[in-house]
A and B are shown apart, each in its own frame.
Chain A
């Protein structure tokens, strides 16, 4: 009995430890809600007149809680479409020890058309909100001459920053201290990357607050529209500071946006008697 209890504890310990190593993989990789079609839902070949279900699994690999809806459609005109345009709401927790996932079923779909064998593309679109926050510690000082306690220029990246995985995320932060007539200006350069699949829906909301001193002013936020060729965007923000001495304070970076990404499945619609 004692041996059994001991083995159970060892198993629990080993499982927990493997979970912890997964948690520490927060990497700043652009990723979000992964959509996958469930096996045989639908099958790759369907007959005209056959009722079929579309089954999806949505998995949230991001470090933000997501809320949105998933919709299915095909590319045919409504007169011959076999998929009803349907949407369902979803709510998935951010990645913790494991990822949160849910299954969704869109039922009673059927292709009634008699236009011969057709190839159809079924598309699942997930649209959702994401909010991520980073709090790197950044030092400032009254004079740029002495770098022993605080560097004038610093680059914070994956290993030093504790970056977040999200559809649009920060992969690197650069700090530069610039002397002014009677203050120090801190300039922050944010490097943003977007996941390959999908795009932003609407504007990207970014707020940078240097604790104790207020919000930074950011430039070019209106130019944050991503097209297919864009892999990285750079935003510069700045704040003037009057500090007496060296200070190390958190820079609170808050990013809010809506994102949409899709998944497709090709199916073949066969006429009766052709299967």
Chain B
């Protein structure tokens, strides 16, 4: 009976909040023996990576990509172009608690250069993918008058981001604070942070365009923010416009965005945001090539 009455929240797969939460997105790793740690010069060696989507956003086929770098790919008879996924890369969900994974193959490498004894290299792989962060953050909409009269429907004073209110993704909404302004305005100060180990770029960038230094610098740290709910919310964006949709730019991995909402009522609602961006992560592997 006691075990039967145990908390279902501990059971994997069963969601009691809007999201699982976390800072994971898509990870990239070399396959165990593709390449192996050591091999001989002249051998044909397979190279492949595995993309694992541990966040909560699914990526359609062909949009998640990976490429090899860190070595002269011509010398190794490899391509340095991006290779893409062939099917949907599902995010974490109730029927797939670990998320989806997919292998991307780069064919075989072959190193034919003259070696004396052995030579060490570090082979690297970069994953590039579009991603989204979604929120269902419970907030309190109220007027200053109802605050003064002590109307107790909800409170604006405490931190609004709670466990399970932000989806698992490398870009996170880490804080939402409310302030009452004037007689009928609520201000939301939302902190958005890059909590992943990689780099974030504008959602309009392509993986290939990010290989150009100038284009990459122009696109770095830019995120598209859309406020889906509450209706009528207005945010300040870097272009100066006031809108519910616009581009924010992270500074040192972080940005505080201020939005306001006019209201005549007091009620509880959910702050639904969508953050859209491109993200890159990398991995590396040390290999030793022996003289034959």
A residues lining the B interface (CB < 8 Å): 133, 135, 137, 142-143, 149, 211-213, 244-250
CA distance A245 to B116 in the complex (A): 27
Cα separation A137 to B118 with both chains bound (whole Å)? 12
Q: Are A249 and B211 in contact (CB under 8 A)?
A: no
Flag B99-141 by CB within 8 Å of A: 1 or 0 each. Answer: 0000000000000010010011110101000000000000000
Residue B74 at the chain A interface, CB threshold 8 Å:
yes
B72 pairs with A133, CB closer than 8 A: no
User: What would 24 A/B residue contacts be, using CB atoms closer than 8 Å?
Assistant: A135-B116, A135-B119, A137-B119, A137-B120, A137-B121, A142-B213, A149-B70, A211-B72, A211-B113, A212-B72, A212-B74, A212-B75, A244-B69, A244-B211, A245-B69, A245-B80, A245-B124, A245-B126, A246-B70, A247-B70, A248-B71, A249-B71, A249-B72, A249-B75
Summed over the interface, the residue pairs from A and B with CB atoms below 8 Å come to a total of 41
* CB of A240 to closest CB in B, whole Å: 15
- Are the C-beta atoms of A246 and B124 separated by less than 8 Å? yes
Considering the chains assembled together, what is the distance between the CA atoms of A211 and B74 in angstroms? 10
B72, B75, B80 interface centre (most CB from chain A within 10 Å): B72
Q: Could you say which residues of chain A place their CB within 8 Å of the CB of B74?
A: 212
Contacts A133-B116, A135-B116, A248-B122: A213 and B72 contacting too (C-beta < 8 A)?
yes
Extra contacts, 13 of them, besides A212-B74, A245-B70, A246-B124 (Cβ < 8 A), are: A137-B120, A137-B121, A142-B213, A149-B70, A212-B72, A212-B75, A244-B69, A245-B126, A246-B70, A247-B69, A247-B70, A247-B71, A247-B72
> How far, in Å, is B252 (CB) from chain A's closest CB?
15
Chain A nearest CB: distance from B123 CB in Å?
Answer: 9
Q: Give the complex CA separation of A249 and B122 in angstroms.
A: 10
Tell me which residues across on chain A come within 8 A of B211, comparing CB atoms: 244-245
Q: Is the CB of A248 within 8 A of B70?
A: yes
Q: How far is the CB of A171 from chain B (nearest CB, A)?
A: 20
Assembly CA distance A211 to B116 (angstroms): 14
List residues of chain B with CB within 8 A of the CB of A250: 113, 119
Cα A250 to Cα B74 with chains together (Å): 14
Chain B 132-152, CB within 8 Å of chain A: the 1/0 string?
000000000000000000000
A133→B69 CA distance, assembly (Å): 27
Residues of B within 8 A of A142 (CB): 213
Give the Cβ gap from B50 to chain A, nearest Cβ, in Å: 21
A211 near B75 with CB under 8 A, answer yes
Report B69-93 CB contacts with A as 1/0, cut-off 8 Å: 1111011000010000000000000
Cα separation A250 to B71 with both chains bound (whole Å):
10
Q: How far is the CB of A242 from chain B (nearest CB, A)?
A: 12
B119: A residues at CB distance < 8 A: 135, 137, 250
Which residues of A sit under 8 angstroms from B70, Cβ to Cβ? Answer: 149, 245-248
Cβ of B122 to closest chain A Cβ, rounded Å: 6
C-alpha spacing A249/B80, complex, angstroms: 15
Task: Select B121's contact among A133, A143, A244, A248, beta carbons within 8 Å.
Answer: A248
* Chain A residue at smallest Cβ distance from B121: A248
**Which A residues are in CB contact (< 8 Å) with B126?**
245
Give the distance in Å from the alpha carbon of A245 to the alpha carbon of B74 in the complex: 14
In the complex, how many angstroms separate the beta carbon of B41 from the nearest chain A beta carbon? Answer: 12
Chain B residues near A245 (CB-CB < 8 A): 69-70, 80, 124, 126, 211
Could you tell me the distance in whole angstroms from the C-beta of A255 to the nearest C-beta in chain B?
15
B121 contacts across to A, CB distance below 8 A: 137, 248
Which partner residue on chain B sits nearest A249 by CB separation?
Answer: B72
Q: How far is the CB of A163 from chain B (nearest CB, A)?
A: 14
CA distance A18 to B120 in the complex (A): 27
Which residue of B has the minimal Cβ distance to A142? Answer: B213
